[in-house]
């Protein structure tokens, strides 16, 4: 039987899209000799390695198929630049659809799948092909929410201005100004029209309203959220908890050639699409591979991951920070672990070295010299200084145990932070907006090390309280009896001055293995992280991002199917993590222990759900492709 050719468009906006596209593609290919799948995305090809390596009938094509939301710093959205990028992308819409129309005909596609890419839906309709959306949100809601009246004032931008490097970085942040509805409406309307061309919605867990399918909650998206609580309004939450199949729908959009559609539009609830950990993954082997001394293997493990993993391709080298274990090999790894070369962890000089000061890059001196910019971003930097830890994808976090930082009692204004390791969208350092569809990579915003103004306590400073009382008042990164493993760090980053009991995961480590091994995960709400935490029953401490409307659905997912504890960003940046970690473990320990005992049987249950989803999609597609009389 001839294979059906599927074009699977994947948004390049984040890694959650890529991981679930890989998962569903694998389920389709496991049905037997039925499908040929072409993945189309601006995400790098290596992100889809799970399915590309598994079958010769899975292919990859690079294409810029969606715009990006511009993030100059972690948690922050540049609303104005995001809209300019969207306007530029939509100005090329007709040309892009024509290009996709030609390509769909060339490969003989019989159907289009789309993970959030609205252009794919319009291209499918232009080609008179059925289209299925596989997602938990759509970008019409994301862009519509840029009109919210909530003003996102980052705590780090409110820090004391007496630190010159921080003040300079903070001054570069644009003010957070809502986009007028008069500007948003015509742009968002075009996105809605493109999504309306989709015929089937496979709604993933963690969903928010999808206004191009259901009439239940129309745009604008700010109307869904209570500004006082920063939560969905009760009527929105209640509707999302109803079966997807019961929602009222907009009618189908006809094909341009007039051929009738054999089926009306449908919404079906989909299971969790998630990557699974390695079946024979062993905790001890993985900790050895990461470089954790065996004396600490009995400690509980905090995984720190803000989505930075496998994002920035390493361009430099340094001495690896671990001794590779011959017993653990990440899926798809090309490392020779049969005869590993002994490697050594560099010495850590904690709390003794002064903090280096490196001149910052400015738009004026790099805008016209891409090679200079690339070289600067590729130069080795550090994940920690004596006073701060810089987690990829997140703002700097204070190390409260550092003698270079004043105590909570000696400085009422709180710690001062530099804008150091935060994820600008490509192009935000340059004069113009980023290219539409450019894949968002985590890169250093500035090569600045923070010089922290500090006054070390004197005997007079501590006269009011005992040392024990001071210790009780001090913020704490991780609880006693825990270690922390930081993910997403490029291997050209030095690890000097890491806090005690902090370790860096190798760049090639398989995140589902790490998440399953961890006792608690600290990060931001994203589909991939949430799905892997729910699947492995790993309690999740999350730092909220106010302008990301899709987070509301993911928060509901963690509340109903997982264990989630919110850590306000000011506490994250102050290094005050420990109490939230302990709370998450107390809430989720029983489920986590039970899931570990379940082991591979739990993975098999998820796989069966994914296989059933693939079979249901095949049944739906057969109704479109079979001869009609």
Q: What is the pLDDT of residues 619-629, one digit of tens each?
A: 999 999 886 54
Least confident span in 286-290, 340-344, 556-560: 340-344
To which residue do tokens 């806090």 refer? 499
Contact (CB, 8 A) for 550 and 137: yes
Is the residue at 415 inside a domain?
A: no
Total domain count, the chain: 1
- What is the share, in percent, of the chain residues with pLDDT greater than 90? 59
Q: How far apart are CA 29 and CA 37, in angstroms?
A: 8
Is 552 part of a structural domain of the chain?
A: no
Nearest to 139 by CA among 62, 208, 233: 208
Is 152 or 473 the better-scoring residue by pLDDT? 152
- Percent of the chain as helix, strand, coil, to the nearest 5: 35, 10, 55
Quote the pLDDT of residue 62.
97
Q: What is the pLDDT of residues 573-585, one digit of tens each?
A: 999 999 999 999 9
CA angle 227, 229, 233 (to 5 degrees): 75
The domain in which residue 611 lies consists of 4-275+602-625
Residues with Cβ within 8 Å of residue 86, at least 6 apart in sequence: 67, 143, 187
Q: Greater confidence, 244 or 331? A: 244
Q: Which CA distances in Å does 372 have to 315, 376, 416, 446, 627?
A: 14, 6, 30, 14, 59
pLDDT tens digits, 43-74 = 999 889 889 998 999 999 999 999 989 987 76
556: left (phi over 0), alpha (psi -120 to 50) or beta: alpha
Residue with tokens 């790099």: 366
- Residue 491: its pLDDT value, please? 62
Maximum Cα interatomic distance, the chain, rounded to a whole number of Å:
92
Mean predicted lDDT score pLDDT of the chain: 79
Q: Which H/E stretch holds residue 603?
A: helix 600-625
CATH number at residue 110: 3.40.50
Reduced to 3 states, what is the DSSP secondary structure of residue 566? strand
Give a yes or no: residue 405 inside a domain: no
Tally the residues of the chain. Answer: 629
119 located within any domain: yes
Q: Is residue 126 part of a domain?
A: yes
Task: Answer whether residue 359 shows pLDDT above 90.
Answer: no
Residue 567 lies in a domain: no
Cβ-based neighbours of 54, under 8 Å, separated by 6 or more:
26, 29
- What mean pLDDT do residues 231-257 have? 95
- The pLDDT value recorded for residue 602 is 83
User: What residues contact residue 271 under an 8 Å CB cut-off, 6+ apart?
Assistant: 205, 606, 609, 610, 612, 613
Residue 618 · residue 34 · CB < 8 Å: yes
Q: Is the distance from CB of 50 to CB of 331 less than 8 angstroms?
A: yes
Q: Return the pLDDT at 435.
A: 46
Is a pLDDT exceeding 60 seen at residue 248? yes
Alpha-carbon distance of 422 to 428, in angstroms, equals 12
590: in domain = no
Q: Over pLDDT 70: what percentage of the chain?
A: 70
pLDDT over 80 (residue 369) = no
Which of these, 178, 207, 186, 496, lies nearest to 352 by C-alpha position?
Answer: 496
Torsion, Cα 516 518 524 528, to 10 degrees, reads: -10
Q: Which of 52-56, 378-382, 502-506, 542-546 has the lowest mean pLDDT?
A: 378-382
Q: Give the position of tokens 């939450």.
A: 237
Question: What's the whole-number mean pLDDT along residues 495-513?
Answer: 88
Indicate if the pLDDT at residue 444 is higher than 70.
Answer: no
Among 415, 400, 416, 413, residue whose Cα is nearest residue 169: 416
pTM for the model stands at 0.79
Torsion of CA 379, 380, 385, 391, to 10 degrees: 90
Question: Please, what is the Cα angle at 491 between 489 and 492, to 5 degrees?
Answer: 105
The residue behind tokens 């400085």 is: 411
pLDDT of residue 492: 63
Is the residue at 162 inside a domain? Answer: yes
Helix, strand, or coil here: 150?
coil
């Amino acid at each position: 039987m001839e294979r059906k050719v599927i074009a699977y468009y994947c948004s390049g906006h984040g890694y959650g899209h890529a991981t679930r596209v890989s998962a569903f593609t694998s389920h389709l290919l496991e049905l037997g000799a039925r499908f040929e799948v072409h993945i189309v995305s601006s995400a790098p090809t290596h992100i889809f390695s799970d399915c590309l390596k598994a079958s010769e009938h899975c292919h990859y094509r690079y294409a810029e198929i969606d715009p990006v939301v511009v993030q100059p710093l972690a948690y922050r959205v540049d609303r104005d630049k995001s809209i300019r990028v969207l306007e530029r992308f939509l100005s090329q819409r007709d040309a892009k659809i024509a290009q996709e129309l030609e390509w769909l005909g060339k490969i003989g596609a019989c159907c289009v799948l789309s993970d959030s890419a609205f252009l794919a839906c319009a291209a499918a309709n232009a080609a008179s092909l059925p289209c299925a959306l596989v997602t938990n949100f759509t970008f019409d809601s994301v862009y519509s929410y840029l009109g919210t009246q909530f003003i996102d004032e980052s705590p780090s931008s409110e820090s004391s201005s007496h630190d010159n490097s921080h003040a300079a970085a903070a001054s570069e942040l644009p003010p957070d100004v809502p986009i007028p509805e008069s500007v948003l409406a015509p742009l968002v309307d075009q996105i809605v029209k493109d999504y309306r061309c989709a015929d089937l919605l496979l709604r993933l867990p963690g969903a928010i309203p999808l206004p191009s399918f259901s009439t239940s909650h129309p745009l604008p998206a700010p109307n869904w959220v209570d500004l006082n609580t920063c939560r969905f309004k009760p009527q929105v939450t209640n509707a999302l908890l109803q079966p997807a199949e019961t929602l009222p729908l907009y009618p189908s959009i006809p094909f341009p050639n007039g051929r009738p559609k054999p089926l009306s539009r449908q919404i079906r609830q989909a299971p969790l699409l998630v990557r699974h950990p390695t079946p024979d993954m062993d905790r001890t082997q993985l900790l050895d591979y990461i470089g954790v001394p065996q004396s600490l293997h009995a400690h509980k493990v905090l995984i720190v991951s803000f989505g930075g993993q496998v994002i920035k391709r390493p361009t430099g080298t340094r001495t690896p920070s671990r001794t590779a274990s011959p017993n653990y090999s990440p899926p798809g790894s090309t490392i020779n672990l049969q005869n590993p070369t002994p490697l050594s962890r560099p010495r850590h000089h904690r709390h003794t070295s002064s903090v280096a000061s490196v001149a910052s890059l400015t738009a004026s001196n790099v805008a016209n010299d891409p090679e200079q910019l690339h070289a600067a971003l590729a130069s080795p930097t550090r994940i920690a200084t004596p006073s701060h830890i810089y987690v990829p994808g997140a703002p700097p976090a204070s190390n409260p145990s550092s003698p270079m930082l004043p105590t909570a009692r000696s400085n009422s204004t709180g710690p001062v932070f530099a804008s150091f390791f935060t994820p600008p969208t490509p192009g935000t350092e340059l004069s113009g907006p980023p290219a539409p569809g450019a894949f968002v990579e985590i890169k250093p915003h500035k090569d600045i090390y923070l010089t922290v103004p500090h006054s070390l306590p004197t005997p007079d400073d501590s006269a009011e309280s005992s040392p024990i009382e001071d210790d009780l008042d001090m913020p704490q990164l991780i609880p006693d009896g825990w270690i922390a493993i930081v993910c997403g760090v490029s291997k050209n980053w030095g690890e000097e001055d890491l806090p005690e009991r902090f370790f860096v995961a190798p760049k090639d480590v398989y995140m589902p293995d790490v998440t399953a091994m961890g006792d608690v995960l600290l990060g931001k709400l994203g589909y991939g992280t949430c799905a892997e935490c729910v699947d492995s029953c790993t309690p999740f401490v999350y730092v909220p991002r106010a302008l990301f409307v899709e987070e509301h659905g993911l928060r509901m997912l963690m509340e109903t199917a997982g264990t989630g504890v919110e850590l306000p960003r000011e506490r994250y940046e102050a290094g005050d993590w420990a109490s939230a970690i302990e709370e998450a473990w107390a809430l989720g320990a029983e489920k986590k222990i039970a899931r570990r005992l379940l082991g591979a049987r739990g993975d098999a249950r998820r796989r069966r759900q994914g296989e059933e989803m693939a079979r249901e999609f095949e049944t739906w597609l057969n109704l479109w492709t079979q001869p009609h009389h």
